[in-house]
Structure formats: C-alpha cells, structure tokens
C-alpha cells in the first residue's frame, strides 16, 4: 500500500452564526448584547439569568442576584 500523505479529507468549517445576533427592523439594525471588554462584534452568550462572553469569560448577571452569598451590588444593565 502506498501512503498518500498529501491528500487529506476536506472538512468544511461550520458556518458562522454571527448573523443570528443581528436583527434588522426597518432601516435600523438591532444588535445583541456585546462584550464590554472585547468590544462590539463579540457577543455574549445569553442564558436565562446571565450573559457570558466565551472569549474573555466575562459574565454579567441579570435579574435577580444569586440567592447565596452576601448582597452584591446589582449589575448595571444597559450601561452607556
Ligand atoms: Zn469578552
């Protein structure tokens, strides 16, 4: 058997799903929450009670703070 080193099975990269974070309504584009550390273009994964950046591991809690622990200052939402 001859080893064929040069040929590799081509595997396509998964399609970027970044478009899902944009919603076009009329003339304006709505963007999902982006990471304050990484800047626009890096979106936060949104769970039911928190938002998380997969790039820098920034986590932002929304809604009720965690029941455990001492009273932490609430996360400012929609800071601008
Ligand atoms: Zn980030």
Every domain of the chain and the residues it spans? 38-67
pLDDT, residue 64, reads 64
pLDDT, residue 62, reads 74
Look at residue 58 and tell me whether its pLDDT is greater than 80: yes
Mean pLDDT in residue range 54-68: 77
> What is the chain's mean pLDDT, rounded?
81
pLDDT, residue 47, reads 86
How many A from CA of 77 to the centre of ligand 1?
16
How many A from CA of 49 to the centre of ligand 1?
17
Look at residue 77 and tell me whether its pLDDT is greater than 80: no
**Percentage of the chain modeled with pLDDT above 90:** 18
Q: Are 55 and 42 in contact (CB under 8 A)?
A: yes
């Amino acid at each position: 058997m001859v080893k064929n080193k040069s040929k590799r099975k081509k595997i396509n990269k998964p399609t970027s799903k970044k478009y899902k974070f944009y919603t076009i309504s009329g003339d304006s584009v709505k963007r999902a929450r982006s990471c304050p550390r990484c800047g626009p273009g890096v979106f936060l994964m949104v769970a039911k009670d928190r938002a998380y950046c997969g790039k820098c591991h920034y986590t932002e809690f929304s809604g009720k703070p965690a029941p455990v622990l001492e009273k932490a200052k609430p996360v400012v939402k929609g800071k601008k």
